[in-house]
Chains A and B, each alone.
Chain A
Amino acid sequence: AQRVTQPEKLLSVFKGAPVELKCNYSYSGSPELFWYVQYSRQRLQLLLRHISRESIKGFTADLNKGETSFHLKKPFAQEEDSAMYYCALNPAYSGAGSYQLTFGKGTKLSVIP
């Protein structure tokens, strides 16, 4: 069974400081990894996915298969980045035929002005 671990429940950084939200996963195949974000009073929404190799709102995430990690990074935090961030795994990418997402418990990012 797959598992996603986000070791930090809360991360506080000052505006302009670098941000790294950690995500580790366990899965025997080659899953697809996502970061979802939930801003205050808004619904959960996709931030980025590893196969797209995009930078969204200044955030990037690199899949490290050796360390089974998918950490989310941003060089300069902004106040509007304050939100709940969830790392998620989808085994369907490896042909498992399942589309369910397995989520971590989330990290609350607080950017201090």
Chain B
Amino acid sequence: DTGVSQDPRHKITKRGQNVTFRCDPISEHNRLYWYRQTLGQGPEFLTYFQNEAQLEKSRLLSDRFSAERPKGSFSTLEIQRTEQGDSAMYLCASGSGGTDTQYFGPGTRLTVL
């Protein structure tokens, strides 16, 4: 499968714990995006990388959230001191070149107890 992959697919954690998600984009894609989707809502933009540079961050991305893409390939999204309101599906997407089509991964479903 050469599509976007995300790991883990599901994560259950207790409030206050830290969690980290990984996204592996399509190999030749230089752009990588993180979105969050809650029940009944469309995906909401969190942050965007072009290669290793984080170029945009949403105000939704509080200080407890941090994302990295150290070598311009895979990316990690870390949430510190999780809260119940962080429960959501976290989606990763990638894209490249002159087209702004984004290809989505299957998502990581986070449940904070």
Contact = CB atoms under 8 A, between A and B. Distances in A.
B65 interface: no
Interface string B20-57: 00000000000101010000111111001000000010
B100 A32 contact: yes
A99 B48 contact: yes
Interface stretch (B10-18, B68-76, B77-85, B101-109): B101-109
Interface size class of B (residues with CB under 8 A): 20 to 34
Given A32-B100, A99-B100, A43 B44 contact: no
A99 B101 contact: no
Interface stretch (A11-19, A74-82, A103-111): A103-111
Interface residues of A, number: 24
Contacts of B56: 98-100
A53 to B, nearest CB: 15
Contact of A103 (B42, B58, B100, B106): B42
A45 B100 contact: no
A108 to B, nearest CB: 10
A112 interface: no
Given A100-B33, A105-B40, A45 B104 contact: yes
Interface of A: 4, 9, 32, 34, 36, 43-46, 49, 86, 88, 90, 92-93, 98-106
Pairs A-B, 3 closest by C-beta atoms: A103-B42, A100-B45, A44-B104
